[in-house]
Amino acid sequence: MALQLAQRLEGQILSADSRQIYRELDIGTAKPSQKEQALVPHHLLDICEPTETLTLAQYQEKAQSLIYRLSSPLLLVGGTGLYLKSVVKGLKIPRVSPHPLLREQLQALGQKSCYQMLSQVDPVAVTKIHANDEIRTLRALEVFYVTGQPISEQQGENPPHYPILQIGLDGDAIALQKRIENRVYQMIEMGLVAEVSTLIKKYGWDLPLLNTLGYAEIKAHLLDNYSLEDAIAEIIIHTRQFAKRQRTWFRAYPEIQWFDPTAPDLLEQVWQSYQSFKQSLKSYSTD
Give the tens place of pLDDT for each residue, 175-211: 999 999 999 999 999 999 999 999 999 999 999 999 9
Q: What is the pLDDT of residue 99?
A: 87
Give the residue range(s) of CATH 3.40.50.300 domains in the chain: 1-92+158-169+258-287
φ/ψ of 189, rounded to 5, equals: -65, -30
pLDDT confidence tier of residue 284, bands split at 50, 70 and 90:
low
Q: What is the pLDDT of residue 285?
A: 58
Specify the CATH architecture of the domain 100-154.
Orthogonal Bundle (1.10)
Question: Do the beta carbons of residue 237 and residue 177 sit within 8 Å?
Answer: no
Q: What is the pLDDT of residue 53?
A: 87
Question: Do the beta carbons of residue 143 and residue 94 sit within 8 Å?
Answer: yes
In this prediction the pTM is 0.85
Q: Smallest Cα–Cα separation from 42: which of 12, 16, 67?
A: 12
φ/ψ of 55, rounded to 5, equals: -75, 165
Give the residue range(s) of CATH 1.10.20.140 domains in the chain: 100-154
What is the Cα 42 distance to its own chain's centre? Answer: 16
Specify the CATH architecture of the domain 185-253.
Orthogonal Bundle (1.10)
92 SS3 class: strand
Neighbours of 130 (CB within 10 A): 10
Task: Mention every residue, 6+ apart, whose C-beta is less than 8 A from residue 31.
Answer: 17, 20, 25, 45, 46
pLDDT at 79 over 90: no
Higher pLDDT, 157 or 25: 25
Q: Which run of H or E residues covers position 100?
A: helix 100-109
Q: In angstroms, what is the C-alpha Rg of the chain? A: 21
